[in-house]
Amino acid sequence: MDDLKGKLIQVYKDGNFLDFIQEIYYQDRKDEKLLPSLLAKLHNEGKFNLVELFHSFKNTTENHDFFLVRRVFKEVLPHINAPVKDVADCVKHLTLEAGQDMAAYMLLSPLREFCKKDTDRSKTLLDLALTDIDEKFDHLSTAIEAGASSDEAFYVNKAIALLSNKNELVKQRAIFALGRIDYRNENLLEPVAIAIRKASISSPSDIILATSMRALFAIGSQSSDLESLFLEFLSTHSKHLDDRYIHAASEILFYDGKKVTDNVEPELLDICSNTKPENKGTINNIDYALERILKRNNFDDCVAFLEHFFELSNYQLSVKHFDSFVRELHNNKDTHLSSLLTRWLLSKKVKLGKCAADLLQESDKDIFIGFDSGCFINESKGVHLFLARKACGWFFNQPKTAVSLIESLILDAPEDELNDIQQLIFHPLCVSYPGSIRKHMKELRESKEKRLKQIASNVLSEYEEYQASVKAALKINELSPSDQDRHTYWRHHNKLMSESMKKARSKSLLTSLFAGNESVLLYGNNSIHYIHHGEQKTRQEVPLSEISTSFEFASMHNLDPNGLKNMIWQFKTEGCTS
């Protein structure tokens, strides 16, 4: 310890103090963690002035470990003796230097601890904050929150008095501070809540209302008797739907979700349904909140919110932007996901049909899923065929998903709809994707269910007849291109592929990373690389390995692209009212 003490004093004299702190910090954390206490002791003994040193520290490109060095000050701050103004200015400087980093405001907690060590410090900081109102930095709420730990009634009443201040920034910071206090005297809670509510009515700006919402919720969370006051606040400002206010509601739903009661949650969700599509931070908070709500099986609340949100935002966002919610849906594939898919395809709204498709579009591969028959028990005749055509239309490019949805309808479908459903499986699905659909039909042919077995056999037989017709057509010379035409087409095709490869390579990340290091394999089964070490180089041989992937391209895209496009669009839109 004495050795480290001597080094610290010496590097301070040499002007390399912060550089030395940066070098030894991690080693000290691994050993006895002597650095913070030793720095505080040396500062308090007057060997050097830590506040002055850190106040001159800049977040520049040369200081790659700015946040590491700042962390040292965070650990030392509660234990040093220094003028309050100097400490406050230093904390402000280091916080603003951090910019938009998430760790920027990590020094506020040790500043509060610093103030709690001496009751006069909180009062001094409060006087400084009110004498020179700083628009860039808030010391007012820190002073009130720290002071309330020792003299709760005095600082709470001081904050309440500030709610009538003409300066809106002072009023907003006072509301924020009142919401941050962990009240020991429960008798203060109701007067504080009433005062904040009155202040929000007299100054209904977006930032005041947003801060008031957070503060009132935090205060209400400390007493169940105050829930009605919070609901009254939401009712009073129900017409106010600006960005900060909505974002505050989303933060409560996300961060304080476990404290949100059954009475409050619908009100906050109703506010959040007015979120603008461009406010990505608010959307993310809502997404996490919906995931939590779904996990507790409040599926209907989530669906009602999303449909209301889509209507209000004119479907500018799809359900895929709520990716955490969708991921949780996939964890309940046979219940929640199946029900929502069925509901939206039955809605007779094209935009909700698109949302239904987006529910499965982000999955890595086709998934097998069925419709929820409970959603259409009371539907009119023709619903099975209607859903089959929707499945074919919206999931045509995911043939396994499409056929699994259609398969789930067969057992309960009326007899007079079965033939049409069978024809959908054959054309366009089996004709377009003979590989995957025929494989699935062969598996179904072994099913114990008579209907599934019969339809699978019929589709396979019909496809065999189709193939025979195609082969017979190939024998007609007039339908076959000449050798010259084939040669011309392949030259054209090769030219297109070559141009496409050049275009792709020009934008390739790998090409930019390894420019100049490409190699052309002329013969052999190994690839040779040279690794350069200065003027020396090492030869390395790497055996070639096979890398392959496959996908099934719809044959109808080649045979009848316009007819296929028209058919798929018809499946998607038929019966839709909007």
Bridge partners of 541, per DSSP, are 528
pTM above 0.75, yes or no: yes
Closest to 554 measured CA to CA, from 430, 465, 461: 430
Does residue 314 have a pLDDT over 90? yes
Q: What is the mean pLDDT of residues 192-216?
A: 97
Q: What are phi and psi of 528, to 5 degrees?
A: -105, 130
Instruction: Tell me the pLDDT tens digit for each residue of 455-477.
Output: 999 999 999 999 999 888 888 88
Number of domains in the chain: 2
**Whether the Cβ atoms of residue 394 and residue 357 lie closer than 8 Å to each other:** yes
Residue 111 lies in a domain: yes
Q: Which tokens sit at 559?
A: 């045979």
- How far from 501 is each of 246, 490, 492, 544, 553, CA to CA, in Å? 48, 16, 14, 22, 20
pLDDT band at 504 (very low <50, low <70, confident <90, very high): confident
Residue 99 lies in a domain: yes
Question: Residue 174, Cβ neighbours under 10 Å: how many?
Answer: 26
**Whether the Cβ atoms of residue 540 and residue 528 lie closer than 8 Å to each other:** yes
Separation of alpha carbons 272 and 368, rounded Å:
34
Residue 264 lies in a domain: no
Least confident of 93-102, 156-165, 235-244, 514-523: 514-523
Does residue 526 have a pLDDT over 90? no
Encode 203-267 in three state secondary structure.
Answer: CCCHHHHHHHHHHHHHHHCCCHHHHHHHHHHHHHCCCCCCHHHHHHHHHHHHHCHHHCCCCHHHH
Q: What are phi and psi of 239, to 5 degrees?
A: -85, -10
**Whether the Cβ atoms of residue 347 and residue 386 lie closer than 8 Å to each other:** no
Bridge partners of 527, per DSSP, are 542
Q: What percent of the chain has pLDDT over 90?
A: 75
Q: What is the mean pLDDT of residues 38-48?
A: 94
Pairing label, strands 526-533, 536-543: antiparallel
Instruction: Tell me the pLDDT tens digit for each residue of 384-400.
Output: 999 999 999 999 999 99
pLDDT band at 200 (very low <50, low <70, confident <90, very high): very high
Separation of alpha carbons 243 and 282, rounded Å:
9
Q: What is the mean pLDDT of residues 373-379?
A: 86
Instruction: Tell me the pLDDT tens digit for each residue of 264-280.
Output: 999 999 999 999 999 99
Q: Which tokens sit at 486?
A: 């084939």
Instruction: Tell me the pLDDT tens digit for each residue of 1-12.
Output: 678 888 899 999
Residue 120 lies in a domain: yes
Separation of alpha carbons 147 and 135, rounded Å:
22
- Bond prior to 428 in cis (omega within 30° of 0): yes
Separation of alpha carbons 29 and 70, rounded Å:
15
Tell me which amino acid residue 255 is.
Y
Q: What percent of the chain has pLDDT over 70?
A: 96
Q: Which pLDDT score, from 0 to 100, does residue 505 have?
A: 75
Q: Which pLDDT score, from 0 to 100, does residue 478 have?
A: 80
Does residue 512 have a pLDDT over 70? no
**Whether the Cβ atoms of residue 200 and residue 209 lie closer than 8 Å to each other:** yes
Tell me which amino acid residue 509 is.
L
Residue 210 lies in a domain: no
Separation of alpha carbons 326 and 318, rounded Å:
11
Separation of alpha carbons 419 and 576, rounded Å:
23
Residue 247 lies in a domain: no
- Residue by residue, DSSP assigns 7-64 as HHHHHHHHT-HHHHHHHHHHHHHHTT--HHHHHHHHHHTTS--HHHHHHT----TT-T
Instruction: Tell me the pLDDT tens digit for each residue of 82-119.
Output: 999 999 999 999 999 999 888 899 999 999 999 999 99
Residue 87 lies in a domain: yes
Q: Write down which residue in 121, 150, 179 finishes a domain.
A: 150
Closest to 194 measured CA to CA, from 232, 221, 145: 232
Q: Give the structural domain span for 463.
A: 426-479+553-573
Across the chain, mean pLDDT equals 92
pLDDT band at 79 (very low <50, low <70, confident <90, very high): very high
**Whether the Cβ atoms of residue 122 and residue 143 lie closer than 8 Å to each other:** yes
Where do we find the tokens 């056999």? 457
Q: Write down which residue in 91, 126, 150 finishes a domain.
A: 150
Instruction: Tell me the pLDDT tens digit for each residue of 536-578.
Output: 888 888 787 777 777 788 999 888 999 999 999 999 999 998 8
Does residue 333 have a pLDDT over 80? yes
- Residue by residue, DSSP assigns 153-206 as HHHHHHHHHHTT-S-HHHHHHHHHHHHH---S-GGGHHHHHHHHHHHHHHS--H
Query: 3-class DSSP state for residue 331?
Result: helix
Residue 430 lies in a domain: yes
pLDDT band at 202 (very low <50, low <70, confident <90, very high): very high
Q: Write down which residue in 150, 167, 196 finishes a domain.
A: 150
Encode 507-560 in three state secondary structure.
Answer: CCHHHHHCCCCCCCCCCCCEEEEEEEECCEEEEEEEECCCCCCCCCCCCHHHHC
